[in-house]
Amino acid sequence: MALAGEFKRASPSKGDIATNLNAGEQAAKYASSGASTISVLTETRWFKGSLDDLTEARIQTTGQSYNRPAILRKDFVINKYQIIEAASCGADTILLIVAVTPADLLKELIDYARSIGMEPLVEVHAGIELDVALGAGAKVIGVNNRNLHTFQMDLSTTDVAAEELKKRDLSFNHDLAGESEKPEYSLCSLSGMSSAHDVDRYRQVGVGMCLIGESLMRAADPSAAIQALCLHPDDYASQTAQSVAGSAYTAGTKLVKVCGITNPDDALVACRSGASLIGVIFAEKSKRKVSPEQASDVVNA
């Protein structure tokens, strides 16, 4: 499974995630740990990104001992200027979102991106958006598991898209292709994943790349977090075998739980410091008792 590691300081659904991180340093950690693509949010208002972040990611991952990853500009790209701007700042490709792009403009932008050597990643969510993307000539399809209108997450959204491509007899599973064959399309899952189980779920249906951002941005050690994703199926099989052998707990596994969390800020500090679990207290006599509303705020952080 290919990995797109995302640099994302904030988001509309989660608020601030990791505003203090350096894009170049984070991108280098992703790339040296196996990410083949670095996705950089450049939208300023909601995601607190910039084109400077994009350039830093390109600079810090160029000329290293590992293969240089592709740099993806992730933004609301709606015109040709933004595409050439992305290229001039170091991007290898750009994201085009069907939900915010009329069909005729989508085709125009896809064609223009290809004219300057970019194969765009085209994002879909609902089934009708897949129709629009394919009609516009998209070859790299990214499925956003999050509904942009409600912010609700549903990991089965990618499964549905994969099944739809199969129904149409469109090849996209690179694992099943022979050496002389090349699938016509590539399918990517773009949100909601954080574990090796999530990655393997999509590997089973033919997804070629998973884009993961928030969990890596919050991780105390991004390299260890990427290793734990088990991008290679042999690694996943080995991890699963060890888990079964050790039942609920595998010797040597270190779990850290921080209990008594009362607010979102403390929850984020605990997660960024490496906590595996966080807990809240509902006991009436506890000084750190929280209400259901406070607990919900902690979970949603």
Cα separation values, 283 from 12, 287, 290, 292, Å:
33, 9, 8, 12
284: annotated active-site residue: no
181: annotated active-site residue: yes
Separation between Cα atoms, residue 100 and residue 75, nearest integer Å:
11
Could you confirm whether 247 is annotated as catalytic?
no
Contact 123, 96 (CB under 8 A): yes
Closest CA to 19 of 40, 43, 49: 49
Q: From the candidates 11, 33, 145, 191, which is the catalytic residue?
A: 191
**Across the strands, what pairs with 38?**
5, 71
Residue of 43, 56, 85, 123 with catalytic role: 123
Q: Strand 257-258 vs strand 121-124: parallel, antiparallel, or unpaired?
A: unpaired
Active site residue 145: no
Residue 98 DSSP class:
G
Catalytic status, residue 144: yes
Question: What type of residue is 135?
Answer: G
Catalytic residue among 33, 36, 144, 189: 144
Q: How many whole angstroms separate alpha carbon 217 and alpha carbon 197?
A: 19
DSSP state of 174: T
Q: List the structure tokens of 230.
A: 């088990």
Q: How far apart are the first and last CA of the chain?
A: 28
Catalytic residue among 39, 74, 85, 214: 74
Residues carrying an active site annotation = 6, 8, 74, 123, 144, 181, 191
